Each structure stands twice: as structure tokens, then as C-alpha cells.
Amino acid sequence: MPTQRIKKARAVGINHIGLEVDDIDEALAFYGDLFEFSLRSRSDTQAFIDMGDQFINLASPRRQGPDDDRHFGFVVDDPDAVRAALAAKGVEVIGPRNNNFFDPWGNRIEIVGYKGIQFSKTEGVLNGMGLGGLEKSEAAKKELADKGLG
């Protein structure tokens, strides 16, 4: 009997990430000290932080232990500003490029600068976020072009 080929979907991006925290108000205050963001909505057990065409879902309560190596890359326009805000809060920055930290609930976050990576937003999304004119480095442009994406 011939094997039937099953069509596969293509992964095209990440819409959102979910993070568990112990307290929604404390999480919004912590992340609000580090990043400018718009709060889409919230309840006693969840909050949704907009990042243009993506979002973070904070959910309470936390049901698992610290994440150690499991993490996600949080793309920002100014990684140095995040490191300075973390230092002001007394949060240790770790990792090979001093760009990772643990939030108070054990979620490991990697800070990634928009300029130097292949991830990109459309001009319309950047303008809507108040980031019009945010540029990519030549290396990031080449990486995108080499993949037929730029």
C-alpha cells in the first residue's frame, strides 16, 4: 500500500509567549520598570502586554519551578537601557553576552537587540509602535537577504 503524503503547515512566527508569575500586579510593576509597553487587558489571574503584532500573556499562579536554561528572546530597541534598568533594580544579568536575567518568578529572559538579528517587523508595525526608523545592522540585513527575506 502506498504511503500517503500529509501536507505540513509552515511555521511563520510566534504570536505570543505565556509566562507564569505569582502575582499579576507585581509582574506588571516589575516588567513596567524594565520596558515601555501597552497593557491590552488584565484580570486577577492574567495580563496581556502588547508588543505591536505580538504579545506576552502573564498568568498566575506559577505552577512550575525556575526555568534554568529554558528561555525566550525578548527583542528590544535598546538592550543597554534594559541592562541599566536591571542593574538599578539589583537584578543579576547573566549569560555569555550579559544579556539574560531571571525575573522574580524564575522565568529566564534573554534580551536581544532588534538592530542585529534577522527578526524584523514591517514598517507599518514599527510606525504603529512609535519605532519608525528603527534600523537593522548590515550583518542582519545580509542574513535576511541570504535567506531570501530581505
Question: 67 or 114, which is more confident?
Answer: 114
> Is residue 9 a part of any domain in this protein?
no
pLDDT of 1 over the 70 cut:
no
> Is residue 32 a part of any domain in this protein?
yes
Question: 30 or 144, which is more confident?
Answer: 30
Q: Quick one: which of 89, 85, 92, 82 has its CA closest to 114?
A: 82
pLDDT of 3 over the 90 cut:
no
CATH (domain of 50) = 3.10.180.10
How far apart CA 49 and CA 55 sit, in angstroms, is 5
Kindly report the pTM of this predicted structure.
0.86
> Is residue 3 a part of any domain in this protein?
no
> Is residue 80 a part of any domain in this protein?
yes
> Is residue 136 a part of any domain in this protein?
yes
CA angle 112, 62, 129 (to 5 degrees): 35
Count of domains in the chain? 1
> Is residue 105 a part of any domain in this protein?
yes
pLDDT in tens, 86-135: 999 999 999 888 899 999 999 999 999 999 998 888 899 899 999 988 99
How far apart CA 79 and CA 114 sit, in angstroms, is 9
* E runs forming strands in the chain: 16-20, 38-42, 46-51, 54-59, 71-76, 100-102, 108-113
Q: Quick one: which of 106, 117, 101 has its CA closest to 34?
A: 101
How confident is the model at residue 119, as a pLDDT? 85
pLDDT of 67 over the 90 cut:
no
How confident is the model at residue 113, as a pLDDT? 95
Q: Judge contact between 21 and 56, C-beta under 8 A.
A: no
Mean per-residue pLDDT of the chain: 92
Question: 147 or 108, which is more confident?
Answer: 108
CA angle 88, 94, 98 (to 5 degrees): 80
Domain span at 90: 16-146
pLDDT of 63 over the 70 cut:
yes
> Is residue 5 a part of any domain in this protein?
no
Mean pLDDT of 10-38: 94
> Is residue 11 a part of any domain in this protein?
no
